[in-house]
Amino acid sequence: MDKKLAWGLIAIGASIILKYVSEYVPEAMNSIDLIRGILIGFGLALIIRIAIKKRKKNSIDDKTIS
C-alpha cells in the first residue's frame, strides 16, 4: 500500500474517532470539529492525489503499449 494512501486513511479514521469523542466531551466540541475538518480534508486530499497519479500513470502506460 502506498504511504500517502495509508496516511489518508489514517487521517479519515482519526476524524471518525474524534466524532465519537466529541459526543462524550461536549466542552471540546468546537475544537474537535475543527480538527476533524482538517483531518478529513488532509485525508481526502492525499487519496485524491494518489488516484490522479495512478490514472495518469495508467494513461501513459496505455499510450506506450499502443
In the chain, domain spans: 3-65
pLDDT tens for residues 37-60?
888 888 888 888 888 888 887 776
Residues in the chain: 66
pLDDT tens for residues 5-43?
888 888 888 888 888 887 887 777 788 888 888 888 888
pLDDT-derived band of residue 64, with 50, 70 and 90 as boundaries? low
CA distance 55 to 30: 37
